[in-house]
Structure 1
């Protein structure tokens, strides 16, 4: 069975890890897997530097050596159709049903008798939903034979749009390289205190990792942290780290300066993904306060490193990865007092972050690239044989 995967950007290291696992395991399922990477990267990642040189091994083609935003729909359609005709797959996996070019490819595939699977990250709350757009979306997904979902909210959303439960072939496929991340984290832990001193950090820290952008709700996080410190019995040991870059960096630094919190809240330079655990090792609790987040792979990353997590209920990962009170807390990002309360639990010592971190490790161990790749291959085989 020949499987063709269409993916938006080459610079997506965890997808590359899964693709490598698919490549490694495919022969055991009597399958052959090839990936079409539409573009090199996306413009929102421009501030993060050049794409990583990925060590992963799988069969792929890069169609356009540029940003995805700079590739026109007609050019995409021509390239995708030409490659599909040349490869002649039995099953096609699309990762962008919102993309007119991929929708056109799906229609052509179905006309040619090729089975189609859609991978989706969308949830009911990650964007504003309108009746007409939802109707169009339901018509598009009705063309697919099966679905791979990032997690439970994504699967439930598809069912709301008319998908049968038996069409959901993989219910959770949002994974990171747990073993690699934990290895880097453990190597960095022995130098934690020395590095904290060198960087002028507190002994205990909350940490956010990601783009400094409006939808990440970081101004609310900083205010909530300040409120928690004011209410805490002994706040002196706790700081807040923001690891990343983005359009709100200047305004966030101005907020920090206005609050006189330069010694408490630190913006740290962005790092490539494989070095992020080195900075996680300087902190104790990950916080993801987003107003909109289809999943939030940084939560996987922190849990792989054995950290508790405080996560907005707008993040798609929250229902599957966060067991409230066991490995962290879930809060409503529109109610800052809930976030303040969560942070205060750790500052005042009511939450045992070491025990919570152990639960995080146990939860995330069930989501590995190997496990997900096997489930995906089983899904390909199931659809291909129907």
Structure 2
């Protein structure tokens, strides 16, 4: 409701600020939806990062109010790229606290336990924290970081999470009460209607052309597990009597691209694997439409959005157990399977299922679309508003 006031009962929240250092286009529709509900008292503070092209594109999309601050992040991501932990970001933005204070928010929403979250906590603003981590992604967290998180948790009125595993982490690690955690605040960008139409017309058991097309979409770095996909493909390629051929489409770029191409040649599967390089987010949909099964053997991911993207395009999903959304989005044997990425034989077996019985592609793909349908901008905004409403009930407002 865009009347400038949102709250619980007689509690009014007429000013809500979202500290969102970076975001890509998939967040825009949700932010616009929140703005429609709250009104002009809703403002996003964000950072201009010149090195991140997708973030630069999204910076001026949408109708929600925003304040863009100057500064730069210091990123420490060696362990993150190797799939052994999360990256650390220190935001050097000296003007942010002054902009925040000028907005005089009644409530601050902030991303994770970041520098900006710590700043808002030190300024004594009531907090709602958006959190994506799981026990697995946070397994190597330093004790001092854990201590700071414990302190901030005590000041936080509510948490937003994108899935069950993040919720479980907050409850078990920091003792956050279940009633304070609101699940489902994330969704991928909806696919264009014309692409959906082409998928609806073309995908059925009779129309599947050989070969069966598997698609991987992600950075070509160790963390995303593309090497494990190649190893599984090599095993699959040695199988005799497969009823039809198959191919692998790899979308993405990264520091390991040349090494992976060389590895494909060593394994004798270069003729099976096509590397397409980086694809702009708004151009990825036709590649999903031309594919049959989505595969992600990631070693470390919070809630990878390529999964709901693929599901919205009616693709079955083969998803690593280390993807934070595996619990939320995969129903074993209904829309795909969860696997251990280092178990190459198991992944090859799962890929073979779809080659041997192509009717599973249509059946599992339809189920994927059903499961992911509830993850949309309107429902994500509903979750934000429930968290805001709950936080309002826990704030002692001052005139």
Q: TM-score interval w.r.t. the shorter chain?
A: 0.7 to 0.9
Q: CA deviation at 1:274?
A: 1.3
Counterparts of 1:225-240 in structure 2, within 5 Å, are 225-231=233-239, 233-234=241-242, 236-240=244-248
Counterparts of 1:97-112 in structure 2, within 5 Å, are 97=113, 99-108=114-123, 110=124
Once residues 37 and 252 of structure 2 are traced to their aligned partners in structure 1, the CA distance between those partners, rounded to angstroms, is 35
Given that 1:150 and 1:174 are in contact with CA atoms closer than 8 Å, whether structure 2 keeps it comes out as yes
Counterparts of 1:1-386 in structure 2, within 5 Å, are 1=13, 2-10=15-23, 12-27=24-39, 32-40=41-49, 45=52, 51=57, 55-64=61-70, 69=75, 75-76=92-93, 78-97=94-113, 99-108=114-123, 110=124, 114-130=125-141, 132=143, 133-160=145-172, 161-168=174-181, 170-178=182-190, 180-181=191-192, 183-187=194-198, 203-231=211-239, 233-234=241-242, 236-349=244-357, 352-386=360-394
Q: What is the TM-score normalised by the length of structure 1?
A: 0.86
- Report the aligned-residue RMSD: 2.7
Aligned residue for 1:119, secondary structure, equals strand
Which has the larger helix fraction?
1
Cα deviation digits, residues 154-178 of structure 1 (max 9, x gap): 000000121111110x212220133
Once residues 295 and 181 of structure 1 are traced to their aligned partners in structure 2, the CA distance between those partners, rounded to angstroms, is 22
Alpha-carbon spacing, 1:153–1:66, altered in 2? closer, same or farther (3 Å)? same
Once residues 292 and 269 of structure 2 are traced to their aligned partners in structure 1, the CA distance between those partners, rounded to angstroms, is 19
Alpha-carbon spacing, 1:101–1:49, altered in 2? closer, same or farther (3 Å)? closer
Aligned residue for 1:231, secondary structure, equals coil
Aligned residue for 2:231, secondary structure, equals helix
Aligned residue for 1:295, secondary structure, equals coil
Given that 1:287 and 1:311 are in contact with CA atoms closer than 8 Å, whether structure 2 keeps it comes out as yes
Cα deviation digits, residues 270-318 of structure 1 (max 9, x gap): 2111111111112111111000001110001001111110000100010
Unaligned runs of 5+ in 1: 193-200
Q: What is the TM-score normalised by the length of structure 2?
A: 0.83
Once residues 347 and 75 of structure 1 are traced to their aligned partners in structure 2, the CA distance between those partners, rounded to angstroms, is 51
Cα deviation digits, residues 34-67 of structure 1 (max 9, x gap): 10112336x5x56x79635764221112213766
Alpha-carbon spacing, 1:251–1:56, altered in 2? closer, same or farther (3 Å)? same
